[in-house]
Amino acid sequence: MYNSGKIIAGLVVFLVLAMLPFLLNLGKANAKIEPSIDTPEINAMPQKHCVEPKAFMRSEHMQLLNNWRDQVVRNGNRIYVGSDGKEYAISLQNTCMKCHSNKKDFCDKCHNYMAVKPYCWGCHIAPKEKKA
């Protein structure tokens, strides 16, 4: 092979660069992320449930929020009828965050783990963190 020294050296460099995320995280604990729903508002609920079931919210909450955004801002619709038949006011700040008032232990836990930085909070005011 011509230039075999350069080629093999280049391949090794490439492999190292490509595996860098894995190499850097070797040995770090991979605890399962459990967002906490321990807030006074949720604890006071007789039946703890969100506007939609947990499984749906976990995978689709962003799609739901996008839909809500367009419905409120662009179509003027403010009432959401959940799959349980109850009506909810559509608002990130005044509905979602009223119950999930512990953003650091709820939203941020998963987002930080996934290295996701949603810019919602640039405009939507996050609830103040309460002392435990």
Partner 1 sequence: MSMNRRQFLKLASASTILGVGAASVINNISKGSLEAAQIHPDPRALKGKRWGFVVDVSKLTTEEDYQKCMNACHDIHNVPSNPNPRHEVKWIWKDTYEHTFPNTAEDKIMNKELQEKNFLLFCNHCAQPACVRVCPTKATFKRESDGVVMQDMHRCIGCRFCMAACPFGARSFNYTDPRPNIKVENKEFPTRMIGVVEKCTACYERLAIGQQPACAEASNGAIVFGDLEDPNSEVRKLISEKYTIRRKPELGTQPSIYYVIGGGEHA
Q: Which residues bind partner 1 (CB under 8 A)?
A: 60, 63-64, 67, 69, 71, 73-82, 89-90, 93-94, 119, 122-125, 127
What 119-126 contacts at long range (C-beta under 8 Å, 24+ apart), as own/partner pairs, is: 120/65, 120/92, 124/92, 124/93, 125/93, 126/97
Closer to partner 1 by Cβ: residue 19 or 81:
81
By residue count, the chain amounts to 132
Minimum CB distance to partner 1, residue 102 (Å) = 15
Nearest to 102, CA basis, from 10, 39, 41, 55 = 39
DSSP class of residue 6 equals H
Kindly state the smallest distance separating residue 30's Cβ from partner 1, in Å.
29
Q: How far is the CB of 15 from partner 1 (least distance, A)?
A: 22
Q: In the complex with partner 1, which residue's Cβ is closer, 19 or 77?
A: 77
> 56 is written with which tokens?
């749906």
